[in-house]
Structure formats: structure tokens, C-alpha cells
Structure 1
Amino acid sequence: MADDSENTLILTLDTGAVTIRLRPDLAPGHVERIKELAREGFYDGVVFHRVIPGFMAQGGDPTGTGGGGSPKPNLKAEFNREPHVRGVCSMARTPDPNSANSQFFICFDDARFLDGQYTVWGEVTHGMDAVDALPVGEPPTSPGKIVSARVGADV
């Protein structure tokens, strides 16, 4: 696929840089929200509050508790057939399918039991080692954080 900087998210974590290919073909509303929040600086300084080895790292809650989100309205589900496998980025939500807002998770490993129930919006193309290096816990004692989140076209 050709370079598409408008659909590239660059996360600078305190553990290293992560490049994510955004997938508007799968979840246009979710990709738009992620880019909007990144451009507003919403994710800068936000921690990964839930990191479970062999499963996923979850972040995107400005309170760091897992109970918060952005002031924007929740998103309508855009469930798709993309498998939840290593490096896949998907939106966190409550039991309400239409409750995704700003929290997301990155899969460490195969989590196919989530397929069709959560909205996949991207995939890590570089820097999965930085995700692997995030401190573990629910929440971690000293959580890893997003130093900055930028859309590639803006860098």
C-alpha cells in the first residue's frame, strides 16, 4: 500500500515510537475520531491503564482509571470482520455496543474471541516492541504513557 500520511498515527510512548496504519475502509467514524483527538492533543500524556500480557494494552482515558473518555459524543459501532491479532488496534467500550469514545487497545496476541464485537480501526506497522515494553498491570504501578499522538500528515 502506498504511503498515506493522513491515515497514519504516530504514537510516541515513553517506551518508544509506534506507527499505526489507520483503516478508514473498516471504521471511518472511529478513524475520524482518533485523528480528531490526536490533532487536539487529547492523548498527549495519557497512560495505558490496563496492560495484560498475552492479551492487550488499553489506554485513551484521560483519568487513567478506565472509566473516562473525551467530552465528545460516543460513537456508533462499526464492527467489522478484521481479526483481532497481534498489532491490531481496536476501540474499547462498555457493554453498550455504541459506547466507544476515546479508549482503545492494542492486541499483544491473538484475541479472536473479540472479533465482530469491537471496532478495529488500525494496525501497528512499526514499533510493536514499544507496546510490548509497556508496564504490566490493571492498573500498572507506574503506567506507561503516550507522550504524544500525531497524525502523520501533521508531522
Structure 2
Amino acid sequence: MSEAGNTLTLETTKGPVVIKMRPDLAPNHVDHIKKLVSEGFYDGIVFHRVIEGFMAQTGCPHGTGTGGSKYPDLKAEFNAEPHVRGTVSMARAQNPNSANSQFFICFKDARFLDRQYTVWGEVVSGMENVDKIKRGEPVRDPDSIVKATLS
């Protein structure tokens, strides 16, 4: 899968968000995300958990934070990359090896997450669109990823 480009564009209801994926940090996570994107998994998925001053989370097929893809969960690839504004990192349950399809984008620095969640990318453009995503836990009438593409 790695031969595809490492630029992920999320066409959201608030505008485009371009993410530079980092296979150097988390090769298995990046390959997994690419596979899901190529299958159209993220198209139409909502931002179900969006916390002011913290992060916007997406990637649950049920829109509730309870689901993942049909594939097995991933083994953690924790790294030293800091959780700062624009960082893209995997959401997971209590078990460190439970990341699957859900991920979040940090609005602000969240260094308390460092080395506990797998960072796999960074927003390189469109962060102002991430800032516009509707807040809530759960979000009423949430914003969504209209289409996710790789280049």
C-alpha cells in the first residue's frame, strides 16, 4: 500500500483539510488508513466528538465512538512526536493496541497525550476548517468527512 502518496485530503462539510501522513512514525497505521481511504470507509463519516480547546474526533462508522472497521485493531506505534496544534493521532480504548479507524486532530497542544497515542500525521493546510467543526460530545447535527482521498 505504501506506494501511494502520503497526502490525505479530507473534504469536510467545513472545507478541505490536508494531512501529511508520516509512515516514518507509524508505518502500519499509515498503511491501514490508506487501505480504509481507498475503500471509501471515511466518506460520509461524522466528527462525533469535538471538544473546544482540545480535539476533533472522527472515524466511527456508527457516529458514536463505539465502532471501527472490519479489520483487526492495530498494535500501538507510540512515538516521540508531540501532540500539538494540527497533530493527527489515533483514538483508542483503554487497551493501547485497540486503535482501529478512529482518529483525532488536535486544536491546541495536548502534550499529556504524548507517547500514549499513535501520531501518524499533521495538518499541513485547512486547519482553519478544522477550527470551524461543530463542537459537542456527542455533536448535534455533526460535521462530516464528505470524501477522503489520497495523493
Mapped partners of 2:10, 2:36: distance in 1: 12
Mapped partners of 2:138, 2:36: distance in 1: 23
Mapped partners of 2:32, 2:7: distance in 1: 13
Mapped partners of 1:140, 1:96: distance in 2: 25
Query: Counterpart of 1:126?
Result: 125
Query: Counterpart of 2:17?
Result: 18
Mapped partners of 1:92, 1:56: distance in 2: 11
Quote the sequence identity (%): 65
CA RMSD of aligned residues (A): 1.0
Mapped partners of 1:74, 1:127: distance in 2: 29
Secondary structure, counterpart of 2:5 in structure 1: helix
TM-score norm. by structure 1 comes to 0.94
Q: 2:103 corresponds to which letter in structure 1?
A: F
Mapped partners of 1:16, 1:139: distance in 2: 21
Secondary structure, counterpart of 1:36 in structure 2: helix
Q: Which runs of 5+ in 2 are unaligned?
A: none
Mapped partners of 1:90, 1:124: distance in 2: 11
CA distances 1:72-108 after superposition (whole Å, capped 9, x unpaired): 0000000000000000000000010000000000000
- 1:4-153 to structure 2, matched below 5 A, reads 6-152=5-151
> How far has the Cα of 1:142 moved from its partner?
1.1
Q: 1:95 corresponds to which letter in structure 2?
A: Q
Secondary structure, counterpart of 1:150 in structure 2: strand
Q: 2:137 corresponds to which letter in structure 1?
A: E
Secondary structure, counterpart of 1:78 in structure 2: coil
Q: Which runs of 4+ in 1 moved over 6 A?
A: none
> How far has the Cα of 1:5 moved from its partner?
6.9
Mapped partners of 1:61, 1:143: distance in 2: 13
Q: Which runs of 5+ in 1 are unaligned?
A: none
Secondary structure, counterpart of 2:65 in structure 1: coil
> How far has the Cα of 1:140 moved from its partner?
1.1
Secondary structure, counterpart of 1:6 in structure 2: coil
Q: 1:38 corresponds to which letter in structure 2?
A: V
Mapped partners of 2:58, 2:138: distance in 1: 10
